[in-house]
Structure 1
Amino acid sequence: MISALFIVSPMAVETWAYFGGHRPGPTESLEVPPGGGRVQRLQVDAGNASVTVRPGPAGQVRVRQTLIWSTTKPQVRKVWDGSVLKVQAECPGWWSLTGLDCSVKLEFDVPPEIEIQVVGTSGSTDVRGTTGRLDLTSTSGSTTLTDVGGTIWARTGSGALEGTGLSSRTADVGANSGSLDLAFTSAPDKVTAKVGSGAVTIGVPPGSHYQVVGRSGSGSREYAAGLEESTSPRIIDATAGSGSVDVDYVGGVPEVPGAS
Structure 2
Amino acid sequence: MSGFERPSSKPSSSRGVGSVGGGRGVGRGPRRSLVAVGVGAVVVGVFATGCGASAGDDKDPEKRSFALSGRTLTVDSDDSALELVAADVDKVQVTRWFEGRVAIGGDPKVTWAMKDGTLKLRMHCSGVVADCSAKHRIEVPRDVAVVVRGDDGSVKADGFKDSLNIHTKDGSVGVEDVAGALTLRTDDGSVRASGIDSKRLNVNTKDGSVRLDLAAVPDKVSARSDDGSVTIALPEATYRVTTGTDDGGVDVSVPRDERSSHVVSAHTKDGKVTVRTAN
Q: Answer yes or no: is the 8 Å Cα contact 1:74–1:104 preserved in 2.
A: no
Distance 1:231 1:55 in 2: 37
1:50 matched to which residue of 2?
81
Is 2:182 aligned against 1:149? no
Paired residues, number:
230
1:61 matched to which residue of 2?
92
- Structure 1 stretches of at least 4 aligned residues deviating more than 6 Å after TM superposition: none
2:53 matched to which residue of 1?
13
1:14 maps to a residue whose letter is S
- How high is the TM-score relative to the length of structure 1? 0.80
Distance 1:212 1:140 in 2: 30
Candidates 231, 249, 257, aligned match of 1:220: 249
1:57 maps to a residue whose letter is D
Change (3 A) 1:59 1:229: same
1:29 matched to which residue of 2?
64
Structure 2 regions of 5+ residues with no counterpart? 1-38, 45-49
The alignment partner of 2:189 has SS state of coil
Q: Which whole-Å deviations, capped at 9, do the CAs of 1:79-121 have from their partners, x for residues lacking one?
A: 231xx142222234246xx7x5211111111123212122223
Candidates 107, 119, 144, aligned match of 1:86: 119
Distance 2:178 2:155 in 1: 14
- How high is the TM-score relative to the length of structure 2? 0.75
Q: Answer yes or no: is the 8 Å Cα contact 1:174–1:193 preserved in 2.
A: yes
Indicate the structure (1 or 2) with the bigger Cα radius of gyration: 2
1:171 maps to a residue whose letter is L
2:237 maps to a residue whose letter is S
1:255 matched to which residue of 2?
none
Is 2:109 aligned against 1:74? yes
Candidates 186, 207, 210, aligned match of 2:216: 186
The offset of 1:24, in angstroms, is 5.7
Is 2:258 aligned against 1:230? yes
The alignment partner of 1:214 has SS state of strand
Matches within 5 A, 1:75-114: 75-81=110-116, 84-94=117-127, 100-114=130-144
2:245 maps to a residue whose letter is S
The offset of 1:58, in angstroms, is 4.9
Change (3 A) 1:181 1:11: farther
1:124 matched to which residue of 2?
154
Q: What is the percentage of aligned positions where both structures have the same residue?
A: 22
2:16 matched to which residue of 1?
none
Structure 1 regions of 5+ residues with no counterpart? 252-260
The alignment partner of 1:144 has SS state of strand
